A = this chain, B = another copy of it.
């Protein structure tokens, strides 16, 4: 673990060594060492969150830590991988360092336990103004069982986990005090990566993506990579039922709002019962929103008409 803050070594010793792993050699070396487990493939992903862009900056630091970790966990979930390790790089203004880091590490510690993931190391640097956090995450899948974005097949059913658009509704209403917004705000602050569900269904799924750029964009992405049409029924989309907003506002949030971190996946009809059973086991709502067909390849349609994202853009 390297660093450039004034009391760099002290900060690392006090806060990061206690949450580090054997593999990291308790941060005494330049890097961490691990012995790969047998018959597993390793999955690697990286996500950066920047203050004022991906988070406001005035959130409790433990919440920022969890958001940084969870957006990465969601990337692993999208590939059906089980979390193993992460590396962390933080750049933050010197003035913030101590108080920020103490609470930030508390958040990491809680999520390390929750998601069974170990800290390998990282870097702590000073920045002039804003906080930037990069996490590199490493997961595993049984050899050859990684889920890609491109293997959906004709007649596969299309599913989505959870409720869409909540995070976007939360973001747009952060300053509103009505309690009806609290679930949406919480979803914005604290994504719920579908790690365990993904691990349980990976053998029954043909393609999967986590919805981070908005349902419609990520859905098109999946359709394009399999070069098939995804026929959905917009009315079936699991949108928020919050009664402070119009149907159009809630649908719009579901279609183009970002940061949902729900899973969108395809699975052969033969596995329908199994998929539903696994979701129930995890207490997770899943919705069959359509199916895969030959047709307007690479497009997402509703009633055979390509969904025009522009129509939903400027409510």
User: B-contacting residues of A (Cβ < 8 Å)?
Assistant: 2, 4, 25, 28-36, 40-50, 52-54, 75-76, 78-79, 81, 85, 87-89, 91, 120-123, 125-130, 132, 134, 136-139, 141, 143, 146, 148-150, 209-210, 212, 225
Q: A28-B149, A28-B150, A31-B81 are in contact. Are A4 and B53 (CB under 8 A)?
A: yes
> What separation, in Å, do the CA atoms of A137 and B176 have in the docked complex?
43
Closest to A40 in B: B36
Question: Is B132 a contact partner of A46 (Cβ separation < 8 A)?
Answer: no
Question: Is B45 a contact partner of A34 (Cβ separation < 8 A)?
Answer: no
Closest to A149 in B: B29
Which B residues are CB-close (under 8 A) to A137?
31
Question: Is A33 a contact partner of B127 (Cβ separation < 8 A)?
Answer: no
Known: A29-B78, A30-B76, A123-B134. 19 other contacts (CB 8 A): A28-B150, A28-B225, A31-B43, A31-B44, A31-B76, A31-B137, A34-B42, A35-B42, A36-B42, A42-B42, A45-B121, A46-B123, A46-B134, A47-B89, A53-B125, A127-B130, A127-B132, A128-B130, A134-B136
Question: Is A31 a contact partner of B45 (Cβ separation < 8 A)?
Answer: yes
Of the residues B4, B34, B45, B132, contact of A44 by C-beta under 8 Å: B34
Which B residues are CB-close (under 8 A) to A130?
127-128
Which B residues are CB-close (under 8 A) to A44?
31-34, 85, 87, 120-121, 136, 138
Nearest CB on B from A52, distance (A): 6
Question: Is A31 a contact partner of B79 (Cβ separation < 8 A)?
Answer: yes
Closest to A213 in B: B2
> What separation, in Å, do the CA atoms of A88 and B136 have in the docked complex?
9
Question: Is A25 a contact partner of B148 (Cβ separation < 8 A)?
Answer: yes
Question: Is A34 a contact partner of B41 (Cβ separation < 8 A)?
Answer: yes
> What separation, in Å, do the CA atoms of A81 and B52 have in the docked complex?
38
Closest 6 CB pairs of A and B: A31-B45, A36-B36, A136-B136, A30-B75, A134-B134, A46-B87
Nearest CB on B from A3, distance (A): 9
Question: Is B33 a contact partner of A41 (Cβ separation < 8 A)?
Answer: yes
Question: Is A148 a contact partner of B89 (Cβ separation < 8 A)?
Answer: no
Instruction: Enumerate 24 A-B pairs (CB-CB under 8 Å) in ascending A order.
Output: A4-B54, A25-B148, A28-B150, A30-B45, A30-B78, A30-B79, A31-B44, A31-B137, A31-B139, A32-B44, A34-B41, A35-B42, A36-B36, A44-B85, A44-B136, A46-B89, A46-B123, A46-B136, A47-B89, A53-B125, A53-B128, A54-B125, A89-B134, A128-B130
- Give the interface centre of A87, A141, A225 by most chain B CB atoms within 10 Å: A87
> What separation, in Å, do the CA atoms of A215 and B34 have in the docked complex?
28
Question: Is A127 a contact partner of B50 (Cβ separation < 8 A)?
Answer: yes
Which B residues are CB-close (under 8 A) to A125?
48-50, 53-54
Which B residues are CB-close (under 8 A) to A36?
36, 40-42
